[in-house]
Structures are given as C-alpha cells and as structure tokens.
C-alpha cells in the first residue's frame, strides 16, 4: 500500500536512533533564530504551530504511563508490568470476518511490514508526548482476516489476567478494557498496531506485545495488550464511555474547541518539557486534520465527542 501520510514522518522513516539523538543535541544547543527555523521546517506542517515532532526520550515514554491494569499512578505500569507474560501471545479475530480464528502473534508479524511512525500522543488529561512507534497498519491485519460486508465497527479487547495485572483486582474500570473504532477509522493509514518503540520491542508498560495507536484521538482510545479484535455491525461499548458517558464519548477525537466537562482541552503540557516550559496549543485532530477531517464531514463534533 502506498503511504500518503508520510510528510509528518519524513525523518521518522529514514532516521536511525543515533541521528535522532544527534538532532536532539543540536536542538538543545540552539538559541533559535535562522538555524532553528530551518530545522523546524524539516519536520513538516505541524512545525508551523510550534511543534517540531522531537521525540520524547525512551525514559519519558516508558516511565510516565497510563495502564490501569497495573494501577492508576503514572509510575505503576513501569514498576509493576515487568512480569506480564507476553509470549506466547495470540489475537482472536472474529465477528464479521472471512477467516475468523486465533492468530499467533508470530504468524501475524511474519506477514506484516513494520515501519517507524513518529506520532504525537495527546492524553485526555491534557499532557502529551511524541513517540517513535514501530508497527504495522491495522488495515493490513484486517485485510488478512478479510472484512465481511456489513461490518461497520471494530471492537478491541485487552488481556484479562488479574494474576499478572494487579489493577484488575479492583473495580476502577470494568475489565477487560475495551475500545472501538468505526471501520473507516480503523482502515485509515494513520491507524497502526504498534509492536515497538525506538526500534526495540514494546515495553510491557506501553502495551506489549501489541497495542493500537490512533494518533488523532485521545490516548485512551489506543488500547494496550490487545488479545481480541471483533468486526461488528453495531457500535461497540468502550471502557471510558461505560465508566462516564458524559465525559468520554465514543469518538474522542482530539479537539481544542470541545472542553472536557472538568477542564479545558485548548492547551497541553508536553511531558519532559521542563518545569518552566509553556503549555502549547492543542491542535485540531492532534495535528492530523488534513489527513482525517474528511472522516467526520457533516458531523457535529461537539455532539459526537
Ligand atoms: N489500554 C489499557 N488496556 N489500559 C489503560 O489503562 N490507558 C490509555 C491508553 N491505553 C490504557 C490503555 C490511556 S488513558 C493513555 S493516555 C495511553 O494508553 C497511554 O499510553 P502510554 O502509556 O504508552 O503513553
């Protein structure tokens, strides 16, 4: 499949880890001015909004997490998820598909093309990061299973294993964690299943061995440690919507103009930005408006939040 969405990713696709580090050092040493403007231009259209897609560090991405199966604190996942058994792993793909079944992760990976995607991640709690994911397009996986006519949505489910996921012993959410997308959202080339970070296997706290990443939606849509994908004709239930339907809708597209009932979504704090860094404006569809706005044409985004 041709990748038309690479302009945010130019560097991502071609830049090995060492060169990122190099660029980080360059950026850190810059006082701004002409050289700064030149480098920012390399990072594509979002740079105009003051966001240069500089990836967060490995440490930031792997130690500041939300993964309620391991507790509600930001450091709980990195402290507790280490012992999760992620091999063997299989994904049940069922519902309205031609070839339902339990697919071993190794078999899936042998058929998928892994690429690097540097994406913004915007949590509904108003913090954000930039993450260099490795993964494959969800569309390719759904193509492997064969989507049947009549399928309109895709439902996802996280592993249920309270013996290894201590947070599942408490009714913080209804377990297992579930999420869902409209089929066209799931088939969009920006939507990936991530298997790694910075060229290394995905750490357990980030949703090993396989997690969804939908970069234009609030982070909670990007469900971790996926064991089941079901094609359905009806809109599936989602964990946060079940927990609080007024605060968390099915769509949950990043939108600076629609506030959370308890806080503004107009700005965000970049994790690792430093104590004195300014909040930055949140971008419509998290900066992916050009690529995804057409999916929602004619929809009232305040109503379908
Ligand atoms: N998936 C599961 N199964 N459980 C969770 O608690 N948290 C979500 C999402 N996926 C969550 C989950 C939230 S709120 C966010 S912001 C992202 O994961 C965080 O991803 P990260 O920890 O890799 O940055």
Can you tell me the distance from the alpha carbon of 118 to that of 178, in angstroms, rounded to the nearest whole number?
Answer: 25
Instruction: State residue 29's pLDDT score.
Output: 37
pLDDT at 51: 56
Residues of the chain under the 70 pLDDT cut:
1-51
Give the atom of ligand 1 at the shortest distance from the alpha carbon of 173: 6
CA of 113 to the centre of ligand 1 (A): 24
**In what helix (H) or strand (E) does residue 179 lie, and over which residues does it extend?**
strand 178-182
Per-domain residue ranges for the chain? 11-296
Query: Distance from the CA of 201 to the center of ligand 1, in angstroms?
Result: 17
**211 C-alpha vs ligand 1 centroid, how far in Å?**
9
pLDDT given at position 274: 85
* Ligand 1 neighbourhood includes 69 CB (under 6 angstroms): yes
What is the predicted pLDDT for the residue at 277? 85
Interatomic CA distance for residues 168 and 81, integer angstroms: 12
220 CB less than 6 Å from ligand 1?
yes
Q: How much is the pLDDT for 52?
A: 75
pLDDT at 275: 82
Is the Cβ atom of 206 under 6 angstroms away from ligand 1? yes
The answer to whether 274 and 44 are in contact (CB under 8 A) is: no
Q: Which two tokens stand for residue 95?
A: 């519902």
Joined tokens for residue 125: 């709690």
> Rounded to whole angstroms, what are the CA distances from 34 to 40, 139, 187, 220?
10, 41, 40, 38
The superfamily CATH assigns to domain 11-296 is: Oxidoreductase, molybdopterin-binding domain (3.90.420.10)
User: What is the Cβ-side half-sphere exposure of residue 192, based on CA atoms within 13 angstroms?
Assistant: 23
* Residue 121 in contact with ligand 1 by CB distance below 6 A: yes
Distance between Cα 157 and ligand 1 center (Å): 13
Q: Are 222 and 234 in contact (CB under 8 A)?
A: no
């Amino acid at each position: 499949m041709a990748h038309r969405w690479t302009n945010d990713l130019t560097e991502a696709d071609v830049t090995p880890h060492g060169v990122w580090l190099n660029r980080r050092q360059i950026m850190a040493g810059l006082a701004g001015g002409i050289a700064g403007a030149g480098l920012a231009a390399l990072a594509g259209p979002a740079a105009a909004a003051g966001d240069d897609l500089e990836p967060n560090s490995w440490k930031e991405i792997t130690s500041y997490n939300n993964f309620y199966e391991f507790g509600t604190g930001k450091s709980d996942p990195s402290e507790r998820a280490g012992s999760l058994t992620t091999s063997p792993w299989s994904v049940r793909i069922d519902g309205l598909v031609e070839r339902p079944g339990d697919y071993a992760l190794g078999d899936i990976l042998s058929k998928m093309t892994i690429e690097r995607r540097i994406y913004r991640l915007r949590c509904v709690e108003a913090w954000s990061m930039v993450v260099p994911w490795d993964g494959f397009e969800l569309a390719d996986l759904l193509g492997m299973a064969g989507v049947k006519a009549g399928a309109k949505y895709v439902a996802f489910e996280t592993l249920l294993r309270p013996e290894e996921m201590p947070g599942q012993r408490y009714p913080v959410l209804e377990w297992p964690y579930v999420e869902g997308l409209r089929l066209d959202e799931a088939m969009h080339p920006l939507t990936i299943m991530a298997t790694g970070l910075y060229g290394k296997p995905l750490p357990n706290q980030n949703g090993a061995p396989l997690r969804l990443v939908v970069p234009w939606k609030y982070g909670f849509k990007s469900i971790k440690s996926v064991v089941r994908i079901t094609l359905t004709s009806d809109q599936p239930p989602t964990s946060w919507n079940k927990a609080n339907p007024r605060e968390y809708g099915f769509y949950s597209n990043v939108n600076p103009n629609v506030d959370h009932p308890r806080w503004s979504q107009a700005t965000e704090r970049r994790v690792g930005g430093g104590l004195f860094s300014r909040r930055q404006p949140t971008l419509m569809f998290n900066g992916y408006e050009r690529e995804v706005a057409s999916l929602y044409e004619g929809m009232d985004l305040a109503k379908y939040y």
